[in-house]
A and B are shown apart, each in its own frame.
Chain A
Amino acid sequence: MNPTLKIRTPEGIAFSFALAGPVVRCLAWIIDFLVTTVAVLMLSLLGQMGGIISADISQAISILAYFVISVGYGIFFEWIWRGQTLGKRLLRLRVMDAQGLRLQFYQVLLRNLLRFVDALPALYLVGGLASFFSRRAQRLGDLAANTVVVYNPKPAEPDLDQLLAGKFNSLRQHPHLEARMRQRVSPDEARLALQAIIRRDELDPAPRVALFSELAEHFKGLVHFPPEVIEAMPDEQYVRNVVDILFRTRAVEAKPPAKEMAVAAR
């Protein structure tokens, strides 16, 4: 299980972030390395074209461009994209202050300058080992700058309409009990039921019956629908109806548009 960064505000609100491990960070670094390499090659080509006028100046520009891009790329993008480079953005990683406060420029600068140490002796061995053994998956630059790299995975959302739509759900005829079910089921229980429905065809018959029996019994204990509604209902159908109630609410239309949420999540 990935380590998490837990932050509890003085108002008593807690939220957590999944910390990015060395492997996914290495992948992001490879993407960034390719981007900087391409940028340096393009600038070198431009420098060679400039060499028609002065070879000395064009070579100077090339060597400085390489240096500025290799050192400044991370600093520039992590600052203007609030903790993300192109590689991090593609892999949904973000640099954050370890206390959840506003990321400061000096933190971005420091963690990027310490790459020179983290990269020792080659291929980020020091940084990788530090990150591997760190409680908060921090390389040395992160330790010095008091930053962490968090991972915001995009959950794979199943096509619930295809999975559940078109099937009559007798539980919906009791809106007050439907609302109570949404209120009493915890997020973890809801996810468990959803996964059971999604993967039901992968199960052998006996475990499948046992699993849905257990789940149905649990949910029936939370909310008591009238006996005539659930008496003839198989356990699997009951669980499917519960998932339908939990995940296919009419609230979808009233949610903030996805675009607005994406902007807020930056």
Chain B
Amino acid sequence: MIIDLPRFIDAERPTWMELEKMLDRIAQEPDRRMELEEVQRFHLLYQKVSADLARVATFASEPELRRYLESLTARAYGEIHETRDRAHRFRPLHWFLNEFPRAFRRRSGAFTLAVVILMVGAIFGGFATMFDEEAKEAILPKQFSHLLGDPAKRVAEEESATSDRAGGRHTYFAAFLMQNNIKVSILSLGLGITFGIGTIIELFSNSVSLGLIVVDYVRAGQTMFMLGWLLPHGVIEIPSLLIAGQGGLVLGAALIGYGDRASLTDRLRAVGPDLMALTCGFAGMLVWAGIIESFLSQYHEPFIHYWQKILFGLAEFAVLIWFLYFRKIADPEEKP
């Protein structure tokens, strides 16, 4: 019980100020490791302020003081009881080079499932265009309306073009592709919140369009054109969409929690850093894919040989496989 409030405040104020200073320092230097004595002092101050809060909580006329002590206690509580890695610094390059492949490998099951969905969708799209002439028009989204015509006719037009169809707007086109593909991928990952169902639908629908276009060009005898057109950017773009789907499936699995005895909160906490790493990864990949699609994929023979583009695409794919599966990655960030 507090009888003399002014004396109580005078006596305890140095403790509150000291804790506040320590908390400010932690916020300003999140990566600094405290010495044992500092940790002990921090814990003692937290306990003292908690006790002061308990005493003030019953005191009628000091709501402001109570809020102040609540705020201090809440901040110190957050620091003392936090056991997760300190991911304070914004380190996109580190996340891309190390955390992304680590998360990708750790969640490889979800990636495999995404690949299976892609293949089923692509096969469905391929069969649809083989057995139904109207499938192309019915399935392809509006942004692919330029692909509705005869592939051979399109190839002839592209190969006889005498001027740059992009009309010197490659940078704009690359920027458009980057932001559009990243948006689509983020949506695909985010739809994992529907227990993964939304992600599966999104992946399947994109795969149907892909399968449909590929089979359409192969049937028209334009396989080399199609490979030269799609491979340079597709070998990065399609895995990016799959990785976004992988993230969505990981999120969906965490929500479902089948066979996992951890609570929903703990399951979501466990996948959160991996989702961040995967997002960082597919965003970086799609920036590259946008540049390649705008500056290379849109050029065809006779300007550049198809085998050169195919070779470039295969080389990119090899590097990607090495990066995702085999590259030695740095150790995880140390726990505090």
A residues apposed to B, CB below 8 Å: 7, 9-13, 15, 54, 56-57, 59-61, 63-64, 66-67, 71, 79, 82, 97-102, 104-107, 109-110, 113-114, 116-117, 140-141, 143-146, 155, 179, 182-183, 185-187, 189-190, 246-247, 249-251, 253-256, 260-261, 263-265
Contacts and interface: CB of A to CB of B under 8 A. Distances in A.
Given A64-B179, A97-B78, A187-B57, 4 more contacts: A56-B169, A102-B78, A246-B61, A260-B20
B193 A183 contact: no
Contacts of B27: 82
B73 A9 contact: yes
A106 B169 contact: no
A180 B66 CA distance: 19
Given A101-B82, A183-B2, A15 B59 contact: no
Chain B interface extent, by class:
35 or more
B175 A146 contact: no
A67 B179 CA distance: 6
B221 interface: no
A190 B62 CA distance: 10
A254 to B, nearest CB: 4
Interface of B: 1-6, 9-10, 13, 16-17, 20, 23-24, 27, 47, 50, 53-54, 57-68, 70-75, 77-79, 81-82, 84, 87-88, 90, 168-172, 174-176, 178-179, 182-183, 186-187, 189-194, 198, 251, 265, 268-269, 272-273, 275-276, 279
Given A60-B171, A104-B84, A11 B47 contact: yes
A251 B5 CA distance: 6
B193 A265 contact: no
Contact of B60 (A12, A54, A114, A185): A185
B74 A256 contact: no
Given A9-B50, A109-B279, A179-B4, A140 B179 contact: no
A136 to B, nearest CB: 11
B59 A182 contact: yes
A155 B87 CA distance: 35
Nearest to B251: A144
B172 A7 contact: no
A66 B175 CA distance: 11
B193 A144 contact: yes
B60 A189 contact: yes
